[in-house]
Amino acid sequence: MTYKIAVVGATGAVGREMLQTLYERKFPIDKVYALASSKSPGRQVSFGDELTIDVEPIEKFDFTKVDFAFFSAGGSVSEKYAPIAGKSGALVIDNSSAFRMKDNVPLIVPEVNHYDLKGCLVDNGGMNIIANPNCSTAQLVMALSPLHREFIIKRVVVATYQAVSGAGKEAMDELFNQTKKVYVNDPLEKSVFTKEISFNVIPHIDVFLDDGFTKEEVKMRDETKKILDENIDVVAHCVRVPVFVGHSEAVFIECENPMDEELARDVLSETEGVIIIDHRADEGYITPKEAAGEDGVYLSRIRVDESVPSGLVFWCVADNLRKGAALNAVQIAELAVNQGIR
């Protein structure tokens, strides 16, 4: 069986990675459509090494032609077109935050909660939408899930160091251009970020909410609860750093069962998709540069936190465009195929 696929936002950072991931993982594809805004017709995107695809505007696209529609063109595009695609019979895998917290939309990280997929889709009134979590949430729950099964996590404190690619291609260009201009002493231009991102860090991702948290921080809290367990308390502080690809997180957990570092390492090392690199020496840990282009969620600096009764601290790094977005989306499609949903 082969499938017809549409990638919405195909000219963007995640859209291009989705095309690459579909190709690399040999998803059984019959035909791929690359969709973007009305600015993009005439442009082409690559699918693998040999094929280039003409980009089409989403406005007139007939979604009855496809089995799967991968959306990564922002919340407003998903809000408008994902329901149209779903009602046309395509299974929508949406990378935006538009549907993630809706009761009848499954929010899936396949290694963590694959069992949530089928049940939710049955009750969703033909919406046919599956949500892909926020990039920082995806890597976090990959590490938390085995620890929660073993130790029952009560509280998570997480500080993020997020790459600019999480804000899209224009954000990557902004870091590149500002960095170049610093060296030749040219005036810097800002459009995506509110403060200079080159040689700086910005403690602000997405909009501010009334309680002082940002929407990114609230997404991490709410999505972690939805995927893992409503009873886990989560507090996040999200920071943008001048890194092109790869999100890092300092994670502090407090558990109900007594902490045992060796057991924690054992359960993490047995977890599919999680890789421990932790030698407690120079270069014995992972940085985002090494995780970029890789599929794994990497953990380093694992240690017991004795400031709380049953605590653990670790460093968690992943490629935000892959496990944080494109790879997870393609894994969801593979799961749907394996579960006979498509």
Query: 15 vs 146, which CB is nearer to ligand A2P?
Result: 15
203-239 b/e with 16+ CB inside 10 Å = b? ebbbeeeeeebbebbbbbbbbbbbbbeeebebebbbe
* Sole binder of ligand A2P in the list 3, 5, 6, 9 (CB under 6 A): 9
Of the candidate residues 4, 27, 29, 37, the single one contacting ligand A2P (CB under 6 A): 37
Helix H or strand E segment including 314? strand 311-318
Tokens of 136: 């920082």
* Interface stretch with ligand A2P, choices 12-20, 95-103, 291-299, 318-326 (CB under 6 A): 12-20
In whole angstroms, the minimum distance from the beta carbon of 333 to ligand A2P comes to 19
DSSP structure string for 236-250: EEEEE-S-SS-EEEE
135 carries an active-site annotation: yes
Burial class of residue 125 (count of CB atoms within 10 Å of its CB; 0-12, 13-18, 19+): exposed
C-alpha distances (whole Å) from 234 to each of 18, 112, 227 are 29, 17, 13
The one catalytic residue among 120, 148, 238, 247: 247
| Nearest to ligand A2P of 259, 321 (CB atom) | 321
Q: Is 256 in the site for ligand A2P (CB under 6 A)?
A: no
Which residues are registered as beta bridge partners of 33? 6
Comparison of 40 and 320: residue with beta carbon closer to ligand A2P: 40
204 classed as catalytic: no
Stretch that binds ligand A2P, among 5-13, 21-29, 125-133, 303-311 (CB under 6 A): 5-13
What 207-215 contacts at long range (C-beta under 8 Å, 24+ apart), as own/partner pairs, is 214/238, 215/97
Smaller CB distance to ligand A2P: residue 75 or 242? 75
* The binder of ligand A2P chosen from 4, 169, 237, 301 (CB under 6 A): 169
Interatomic CA distance for residues 318 and 160, integer angstroms: 12
Instruction: Work out whether 36 is an interface residue with ligand A2P (CB under 6 A).
Output: yes
Rg of the chain, C-alpha, whole Å: 20
Please list every residue from 38 through 97 that binds ligand A2P, using CB under 6 A.
Answer: 39-40, 58, 73-74, 77
Rounded CA-CA distance 199/241 in Å is 8
From 86, 133, 146, 168, residue interacting with ligand A2P (rule: CB under 6 A): 168
Name the residues annotated as catalytic.
Answer: 135, 247
Which parts of this chain interact with ligand A2P (CB under 6 A)?
Answer: 9-15, 36-37, 39-40, 58, 73-74, 77, 168-170
